Structure 1
Amino acid sequence: MTDTTELFCLRPDVVVEPVVAGWYATTQLVSPLAHAMNTAFRHLPIMQSYIQSPQMHAAAVQDPDLLGGPFIDHPAERASDVVDLLESTRGAQQDHLKLADAVRTAWETLQNRAAGGSMADIYAAMPDDLRGFLELVYTPGGTPDLRVFEALLYRSAHYTPHLQGALIHRISGDERPFSMSTPRFPSPDKFALNRPFSDKAYDVLGRLRREPMSRADIASALKLNDADAAAFDAFLTPASPRAPVEAATQSRWRYFGHACVLVESAGGRSVLVDPVIAYESGDAPERYTIDDLPDFIDVVLITHNHPDHVLIETLLALRWKIGTILVARSGGSMVDPSLKSALTAIGFADVREVDYLEAVQVGDVSIQALPFLGEHADLDISCKAAWLVDAGMRMVFAADSNNLDPVLYDRLATSIGRLDALFLGMECEGAPMSWLYGAMLPFAVDRADDQERRLDGSNATRARALIESLDVDQVYIYAMGLEPWLKFITGMAPEDDSTPMQQSEELLAQCRQVGMQAQRLYGRATSEDAVETVEFDL
């Protein structure tokens, strides 16, 4: 007998938006200490400011010059929701707020008492909420510092997965409120999934984008009651035959936007770098989506722990078909949360930390971690790596690396050999240090220092020096925040006359002058159809 049960998939415009305590989820809100610091010193001040003047925030989010600033993108009519969130934060997150205050107290104690002598007696003076989670150290130059036993924090009451969940809703277009400053609220058209990120429900949702199920099986797999199942029906569409993703017959790469590139080998292996993937919105530019990925991803590579390179929303949608994630090793500083710990905590089974110049072999693909300078405002952060991927084509994905010292690449050149392609970001006018790290710092930063220590990538001069150090055939400029689906993460809307765009144009011209193939990537691109240059209007 033929089974006539109707099968359904998720609609392609459905977003499963991860949230932590009402805020868009990043790895900083998974890490217990970073979560506490951001709650106390980012979220509370933003909410307090909004409650004092919703009209000011409403005006600010309309000002292009203030894009990405600490302004809540909700109309004044939702002020009561912000008030409720503020009060619930003060109540439900008392332990986080105490932990954040304890960190500030620990820094003050260290600054006052650690003058170069032994710190053995200072441990007893540390706040109770932090004792046992810290090592007190001096840097080799004699500056007192705090090191975190982050693995212990994940095993303590400070890790609160019950605050994790998702809002499931449909979108039209690529516009979404800026992730770092606008809380997410349930509404009649948003389905609240109150499950920790480690829950298998997210794998079910990920599979539903490709593998159809019956309504009954969906309700059972997601543990929906009758009312929730009826509400969830708005996100389903009858399954239709889908063409299989074309398998690679030779080594190739496909650009999915920003810093996300899929590398495939002739032997059928796949490597996905910095997965941040768009939805099919119908808007320009044309883009690849999750439907364009292979059925299994052998390796995911993360270049660094910034939300436009490690996006929980995309990663959860792919978790069911990811083999291994490779990340750089965290050094344990306050501003350097471990990517391995965060990703393991939210349900990824195989996350490996790789040291610089360590090689990993996956079938016919060789992967090597390379040093990464810049983009982190001179902070003590080691959880970052460029990646050399040899899948028949030899490619380096340098992301936002800033060539602060060209001698590094002179030394690397003898180790890594000839490259078919270099992928390099040129966001050379990045945000000030406090934009991303302000809540994590022990003390307020001098404004002049904050403006000088920016989250910058290479400009044309530094990028050209990097290219000259390495033996490179092709150069691809990427990770510029150009695609519209990145704006809600980066707070950027680059213009043609912006400094990064002008600098990238200068580099393209320099490459053309010496006959080198160079292209600034946008929307989608492949190694099969790469051309010498590309022109577009933003």
Structure 2
Amino acid sequence: MSLPLYCLRPDVVVEPLVARWHAWPHLVSPATGALNAQHRHLKTMESYVAMPQVHAAALRDPALLGGPFLDLGGERVEEIRALIDWTRARQGPALRLAAELAACWKLLAEADGLAMAPLYGRLPESLRGAAELVYTPAGAPDLRLDEALLYRSPAYDPGLQGVMLRHVASDERPFAFSTPRLDEPGDLYLELPFASPAWDLLGSLRRRPRPLAEIAEALGVEGDRLALLESLLTEAVPAATAPAGTTRWRYFGHACVLVETAGGKSLLVDPVIAYESGAAPERFTAADLPEWIDYLVITHNHADHAQIETLLALRWKVGTVLVPAGGGSLVDPSLKLALEAIGFRDVRALGSLEEVVDGDLRIAALPFLGEHADLDVRTKAAWLVEAERLRLVFAADSNNLDPALYDRLRPIVGRLDTLFLGMECKGAPMSWLYGCLLPTAPSRAQDQARRLDGSDSARALAAIRSLEARRVCVYAMGLEPWLKFVTSIAPDPESVPMRESEKLIAACGALGIPAERLYGRAETISAGATASS
């Protein structure tokens, strides 16, 4: 008699964690991971221990959504106190790196425009040989790190990486940037480095059943935790996804779009895949993906576009990952190195206008302005995708700060079938994401003026006119409920982004250009009509 075979239940979240915090690329990269641990994680946990009821009260105020408040009520102080102690002990090398980066910035304050050579001997020990002191062309002192060397230093510790498996009954999850993941009844936490082959087994368990003993051995589960593991599994095997058989695109929510060609090629942009929570709206899930994904394409290094949770779930069935080539500043860690560190074998960084051609698929990196608070962040690209007769551009959160950019691109790109454009045009202030990486805090005026913004209606319309887009899809608005735990966005029809997107759709209609704001899921087959919901 054969043993029963199990798949992972479709309503089970598989959440990667670093030191018990939701994993995103800045926590993988050693320097940004160290600064987040010191200035975000410890600071927020210490505040909770000191004032737990303040945190509990803040979470009842919608205006404070996404703020530095632990979503744990006011009753788990001792657990957080223990996590603080553990963090200081286990992340000692990273916390030393954070302190020495601060010392390095103080050292650079002494730079007076003369040669930097005398300063190298005074660099902190953990940065010796891994840091270059430079001047910008305008003469400001700056710091560049050799990230590849830091990945081989004690500051990068794969032993801090793990996974939390839990059932979900809705899309609600504690905000990723402010709340560590503590154990809850029914949860299964495993120490599991991201580069481990066990992540490929977890990903494939959505579709390929295995015996319980094999699963348990691969994940290191034994004893009384075996029953907990089994509760997360099912003997029901999802049906295989049929090949598209034609050229089409499918919208999976936020900025995630699957493009398939009649020739069998597939490409997934900004992978963020929802779980089957049973909640509205209707959505495509992992069960709707093809058996093999030839290319993953990422527009920029933010948690709602480069989501490690989805990336690791798909690693087992992905050929090549295409990312923008980066600049190497402290606020611009290498996405390529981070993805290689978590086990992807074929990651290619493309510079502006570089391209990949594979059969009936052509993918080109296009320049991308804005969205990064005027910081020197170069790891960002819009992507031109030509799939047989379809010519699509995925501009994500690109802010059309200078319409001359798209005028320059028009003869290069050709006339578009569809422009996908984000319009989160009143984004978070700079400090919300980058504050813990900056050597000095910005003034309130600077912080409020320099935001993580996409295009408003006027800038979006200028891009549409320049590219002569036949059709416009407004996306990447953070509207889907399964994104709230990383975007902190609560949809409001009266919000500035929603009003601006409505203005754009109306303006496009007046010009005879079909335009819509995507939500939940949508699909277009070849050059024909759209089915959306």
Q: State the Cα distance separating 1:246 from its structure 2 match.
A: 2.7
Match of 1:315 in 2: 311
- 2:505 corresponds to 1:501: no
In structure 2, give the amino acid aligned to 1:225: E
Confirm or deny: 8 A CA contact 2:354 2:364 kept in the other structure: yes
Give the one of 262, 267, 286 matched to 2:263. 267
Which of 89-98 and 263-272 deviates more?
A: 89-98
Match of 1:407 in 2: 404
Query: Which of 240, 243, 248 is residue 244 of structure 1 equivalent to?
Result: 240
| Aligned residues of 1:175 and 1:488 also touching (Cα < 8 A) | yes
The residue number in structure 2 matching 1:255 is 251
Q: Deviations over 1:168-216 (max 9, x none)?
A: 1111100000000001112331111101011111111111111111222
Aligned runs of 1:400-439 on 2, under 5 Å?
A: 400-439=397-436
Once the two structures are superposed, the pairs formed by residues 25-424 of structure 1 within 5 Å of their partners are 25-111=23-109, 113-240=110-237, 242-392=238-388, 393-424=390-421
Alpha-carbon distance in 2 for matches of 1:287, 1:73: 27
Question: For 1:145, what is the secondary structure of its paired residue?
Answer: strand
Separation in 2, partners of 1:212, 1:90: 40
Point out where structure 1 has 5 or more consecutive residues left out of the alignment: none
- Is 171-180 or 242-251 further displaced after alignment? 242-251
> What do the CA deviations read for 1:43-82 (whole angstroms, capped 9, x no partner)?
1111111111111111111211111111000022211111
How far apart are residue 494 of structure 1 and its match? 1.9
The residue type equivalent to 1:62 in the other structure is R
Amino acid at match of 1:42: R
CA shift for structure 1 position 223:
3.4
SS in structure 1 at match of 2:96: helix
Q: Is the aligned partner of 1:514 residue 2:511?
A: yes
Deviation at 1:230, TM superposition (A): 2.4
Task: Report the TM-score, using the length of structure 2 for normalisation.
Answer: 0.97
Letter in 2 for 1:197: F
Whether contact under 8 Å (1:517, 1:532) holds in the other structure is no
1:368 is paired with a residue whose SS is strand
CA RMSD in angstroms comes to: 1.4
Matched to 2:208, the amino acid is: E
Shift of 1:95: 1.7
Alpha-carbon contact 1:519-1:532 (below 8 Å) kept: no
Give, in whole Å, the separation in 1 of the partners of 2:531 and 2:241: 27
Measured after TM superposition, the shift of residue 224 of structure 1 is 2.7
Is residue 496 of structure 2 the alignment partner of residue 524 of structure 1? Answer: no
Question: Per-residue displacement from partner, 1:93-138 (whole Å, max 9, x unpaired)?
Answer: 2221111111111111101x21111111111121112111111111
Does the 8 Å contact 1:429/1:457 carry over to 2? yes
User: Which of 442, 446, 452 is 1:445 aligned to?
Assistant: 442
1:246-267 alpha-carbon deviations (Å, 9 max, x no partner): 3122211000000000000111
Structure 2 Cα separation of the partners of residues 214 and 95 of structure 1: 40
- Whole-Å separation in 2 of the counterparts to 1:457 and 1:307: 16
Query: What's the CA shift for 1:164?
Result: 0.3
Say if 2:524 and 2:530, in contact at 8 Å, map to a contact too.
no
**Distance in 1 between residues matched to 2:133 and 2:70, nearest whole Å:** 38
Q: Distance in 2 between matches of 1:27 and 1:365?
A: 28
Q: By how many angstroms is 1:531 displaced?
A: 6.5
- Deviation of 1:89 after TM superposition, in Å, equals 1.3
Runs of 4+ in 1 over 6 A off after TM superposition: 529-534
Report the counterpart of residue 13 of structure 1 in structure 2. 11
C-alpha deviation, 1:533, in angstroms: 11
Question: What SS is found at the alignment partner of 1:473?
Answer: coil
Deviation at 1:507, TM superposition (A): 0.1
Give SS of 1:19's match.
Answer: strand
1:485-525 per-residue CA deviation (whole Å, 9 max, x = no partner) reads: 00001011120000000000000000000111111000000
Cα distance, 1:531–1:497 mapped onto 2, change above 3 Å: farther
* Contact 2:5-2:209 at 8 Å conserved across structures: yes
* Distance verdict in 2 for CA 1:93–1:217, change over 3 Å: closer
Q: Distance in 2 between matches of 1:216 and 1:149?
A: 43
Code of the aligned partner of 1:507: L
CA distance in 1, matches of 2:54, 2:73: 10
TM-score (norm: length of structure 1)? 0.97
CA distance in 1 between counterparts of 2:217 and 2:27 reads 30
Whether the 8 Å contact between 2:523 and 2:530 is mirrored in structure 1 is no
Where structure 2 has 5 or more consecutive residues not aligned to the other structure, the ranges are none
Q: Deviations over 1:316-338 (max 9, x none)?
A: 11110011100011111000010
- Alpha-carbon distance in 1 for matches of 2:220, 2:187: 17
1:471 Cα offset (Å): 2.0
Distance 1:198 1:343 in 2: 9
Percent identical: 58
